[in-house]
Amino acid sequence: MAKGKTTVYFCQSCGYESSKWMGQCPGCREWNTFVEEIVDKKSSAKTTGSRETAKIVTLKQIEMSKQQRLRTQIQEFDRVLGGGIVPGSLVLVGGDPGIGKSTLLLQVCQKLSQISRKVLYISGEESLQQIKIRSERIGTFSDSLTLLCETNLADIKNVIQREKPEIVIIDSIQTMYSEEISSAPGSVSQVREATASFMQIAKGMGITVFIVGHVTKEGVVAGPRVLEHMVDTVLYFEGDRHAAYRILRGVKNRFGSTNEIGVFEMCGDGLREVQNPSEYMLNGKPKGASGSIVACSIEGTRPILLEIQALVCHSSFGIPRRTAAGADLNRVNLLMAVLEKRQGLPMSSSDAYVNIAGGIRMTEPAIDLGIVLALVSSYQDKAISDKTICFGEVGLSGEVRAVNMVQQRVQEAEKLGFEKCILPKVCLDSVKEIKGIQLIGVADVREAIRCIGS
């Protein structure tokens, strides 16, 4: 090994550095995440010398300037960002391969270029011809969009400093490399160094930088976990590659609310916004079928109505089979145990299959009541009225507990034509009277089951 270089081990999950390999990371407690890398100590050594002393200020000395957000004309994208793009922010966009990350950002570039914003799209994976083919499918672009195919970090920084664009797209961060680091592109050191360089560009020059990041098989952004801590906003592009819809979810946002979602539909000419996700998710709901009910969940500030389906049948084997698509399987097993203990239904000897129609995944506890009523409906083979909607968290004692944003849930249900709403009894006082929909408060699961039977 060359003089001045040494071997270190990095944790791919959290970036923990060690001089030797370890089976379990002391930082994040993950197993088998350490990778070997060669680090040049000379290049990473701190420079000594006189530096200007940093100045400290008080809160009163800081002058507030209202940041003017830049709207992309894609409402679902702006919603997830908190109202638009904040100048000088660093945004990480992650998602599975082929889910549509590059297509979405290219459409953002199209909208921004049409309003004469200077945009630089830097691709480390696709050639200029491949980007041209995709752009022809999306639509027309103006000359304010410029393209660059480069992976060398030093060359990219020189181009950005020379051209001074307003928005920069990096596709993807795993392909960027610095010659000062001897490890391969995509390694922990390279990804961390590249992200730090783009963060300095964003904050120092006031340029908004979008970074595309690959995800692992567990669904998290590949590379060190510190990558998500360095950026201002983290967006995940989710959805089944074989389904028509895609969900853009904000899991971190320093300039807006978190857990906002934007819904898109994959079409031949790119991604199209879904303005009313509730109506979109309920398309094709069967009428008069048992084991089906509509529940209301909240994603960020938006209520979304979704159909919960359940199929309960007698098990032919000693161990019943349980499957959940779109819901937490452990939560489904818990709710079935509540039904058996509090309601006396013999669920332990039955196979159960729970599905949230449309392929969407929801983990909010407010859909507990919908899962319970769908299971009971399928077990008794009695259909629930198509005009009935429900929401509420179910406890281990069978009680129906309160949820938040009740008024918004009821208003969304009334807007889509539902006539009866089953909700927690403790939430009735917080709901203003809404004409056209009957509110039924229930204190436990037993009362809720009587409501769907009447």
Q: What residues are designated binding site for ATP?
A: 95-102
What is the separation of C-alpha 57 from the centre of its chain, rounded to a whole number of angstroms? 37
CA-CA distance, 394 to 338, in Å (whole number)? Answer: 9
Cβ-based neighbours of 171, under 8 Å, separated by 6 or more: 101, 102, 105, 121, 122, 123, 124, 125, 126, 212
Rg (CA), the chain: 26
The β-bridge relationship of strands 5-11 and 34-40 is antiparallel
Q: 399, 398, 415: which is closest to 407 by C-alpha?
A: 415
How many angstroms separate the CA atoms of 265 and 334, rounded?
A: 34
Binding residues: 95-102
CA 273 to chain centre: 16
Distance (Å, rounded) from C-alpha 367 to C-alpha 375?
Answer: 13
Backbone φ and ψ of 170, nearest 5°: -110, 115
**Helices 368-380 and 445-453 meet at what angle, rounded to 10?**
50
208-228 burial: b if 16+ Cβ within 10 Å, else e: bbbbbbbbeeeeebbbbbbbb
Distance CA 369, CA 340 (A): 15
In the chain, the amino acid numbered 200 is: Q
C-alpha dist (Å) from residue 381 to 104, 291, 312, 374, 421: 44, 7, 9, 10, 21
What is the distance between the alpha carbons of residues 394 and 134, in angstroms, rounded to a whole number?
48
User: Exposed, middle or buried: residue 35 (CB in 10 Å: 0-12, 13-18, 19+)?
Assistant: middle
CB 145 within 8 A of CB 119: yes
